[in-house]
Amino acid sequence: MESRPPLPPFTLDTARQKVRMAEDAWNSRDPERVSLVYTPDTRWRNRAEFVNGREEVKAFLARKWAKELDYRLIKELWAFTDNRLAVRFAYEWHDDSGNWFRSYGNENWEFNGFGLMERRFACINDLPIAEGERKFRWPLGRRPDDHPRLSELGC
């Protein structure tokens, strides 16, 4: 079976590393790349939508990023146990009419022994913002290491 280190049981350092790797993958906006961190039979709840398996994950992400333009995400570790991580996040995006949003949320993740995510539960709220209120202004792709984290931004 494929493996995605770091593997459980997580330490504070490996939990933070796993969260940053997930953030980097999602900021790629590449559904194929992102789907590979999940088990083939992964189960999600994202807002009120239920997603099952990698193929549905890829379809979900393709729809998401076709709607949520210029997407930039920051994730932050909230808590962890041996094979579970709790994460808070915020991302900014705009729709095809130029309306900007900052979406806030929490995720609960559960991993198998190979470091693949089996379950993901996400609760998300969208806040309309003006373009001038944006806080995530790096070039599309990976967040620079020197960019403030959520806690530093007050998000």
Residue 79 CA to residue 63 CA, distance in Å, equals 30
Fill in the DSSP letter of residue 83.
S
Q: What percent of the chain has pLDDT over 70?
A: 100
In which band, very low, low, confident or very high, does the pLDDT at 1 lie, cut at 50, 70 and 90? confident
Report CA Rg, the chain.
15
CATH number of the domain at 119, please. Answer: 3.10.450.50
Task: For residue 104, name the pLDDT band (cuts at 50, 70, 90).
Answer: very high
What is the extent of the structural domain holding 52? 12-134+143-153
In-domain check, residue 35: yes
pLDDT bin (cut points 50, 70, 90) of residue 48 is: very high
Task: For residue 70, report the phi and psi dihedrals to the nearest 5 degrees.
Answer: 55, 40
Q: What percent of the chain has pLDDT over 90?
A: 99
Whether residue 2 lies inside any domain: the answer is: no
Going by their DSSP bridges, the two strands 38-46 and 117-129 should be labelled as parallel
Instruction: Tell me the pLDDT tens digit for each residue of 50-97.
Output: 999 999 999 999 999 999 999 999 999 999 999 999 999 999 999 999
Q: Which residue has the tokens 């309309």?
A: 128
What pLDDT does residue 146 have? Answer: 97
Asked if residue 3 is part of any domain, the answer here is: no
Q: Where are the alpha helices (DSSP H) in the chain?
A: 12-28, 31-35, 54-67, 150-153
Query: Could you tell me if residue 5 is inside a domain?
Result: no
Residues in the chain: 155
* Residue 101: burial class (beta carbons within 10 Å; 0-12, 13-18, 19+): middle
User: How many structural domains are present in the chain?
Assistant: 1
